[in-house]
Amino acid sequence: MAKRILIVEDDDDIASIEKDYLEVSGYQVTVEENGTAGLTEALTGDYDLILLDVMLPGMDGFQIVRKLRDKVDIPIMMVTAKRTDIDKIRGLGFGADDYIEKPFSPGVLVAKVKSQLAQYERLKGKPEDRKRITISGITLESDTHRIWVRGEEKVLPNKEFQLLEFLMVHADVVYSRETLYTRIWGMDSLGNTATVPVHINRLREAVEEDPSNPKHILTIWGVGYKFKP
């Protein structure tokens, strides 16, 4: 069954390019031109990935991804004409899994979409990952993609879940930013390692009692990160 992708993009030419190339690659594609309508469609439709423009009428992409992240557990890619790192970090901080800059190569777009879907499927589908891990009051269930922190269930986006799982499975081992990026985003990923600390900070917000003074997800300065039991 073909994967379903929602494009939220108000530029007809860009939306058509995205739609045509993704459909040629075997995906089913729906396009919404308005941010408010896109949010409604994302919440009510059954999609495998959302391709979300930043600048939209009705509601911008940053607002949409913030509203989606507690309710939708699928990859979200942001499409932006803004080239500053702060805009990329802002989108990732709100819960986006990846981004692509305009103007972009349609081939790069398709490659990024395939990479995101493959990473998500690997997390969901590997039999060896179907386990429950409990460390220091944090319980993670790989097969159901669920997590409980001190008895309270939390919702984590795909990349945060994968990152936490990897660190918990390898508790007390320090990993560099580059290693974590390679292991979680994949060798063929087309982003950059600045993504990692953004997701680390989001994880701390979700699982630490005091995110400004973390006890479990630690930064080892000059080396990397680790999960301390």
- What CATH number is associated with residue 188? 1.10.10.10
Based on the fold, state whether residues 39 and 108 are members of the same structural domain.
yes
The C-alpha atoms of residue 1 and residue 109 are separated, in whole angstroms, by 21
Mark whether 153 and 112 lie in a shared domain: no
% of the chain with per-residue pLDDT over 90: 40
pLDDT at 29: 96
Structural contact between residues 32 and 5, judged by C-beta atoms closer than 8 angstroms = no
Euclidean distance between CA atoms 56 and 131, whole angstroms: 41
Q: Report the interhelical angle of 35-44 vs 61-68 (nearest 10°).
A: 20
Do 213 and 138 fall within a single domain?
Answer: yes
Same domain, 108 and 136: no
Looking at the fold, whether 113 and 16 belong to one and the same domain comes out as: yes
For 150, the domain range is 126-227
Quote the pTM value. Answer: 0.60
For residues 97 and 136, membership in a common domain is answered with: no
Q: What is the DSSP letter of 129?
A: G
Q: Which of the listed residues 124, 147, 175 is the one where a domain comes to its end?
A: 124
Residue 3 pLDDT level (bands cut at 50, 70, 90): very high
- Report how many domains make up the chain: 2
Helix, coil or strand: residue 219: strand
pLDDT grade for 86, boundaries at 50, 70 and 90: low
pLDDT band at 74 (very low <50, low <70, confident <90, very high): confident
pLDDT of 152 > 80? The answer is yes
Look at residues 62, 90, 124 and tell me which one is the last residue of a structural domain: 124
pLDDT, residue 64, reads 92
119 and 47 in one domain? yes
pLDDT at 192: 67
Same domain, 25 and 72: yes
How does the average pLDDT of the chain come out, rounded?
A: 85
User: Of 72, 107, 124, which residue constitutes the final position of a domain?
Assistant: 124
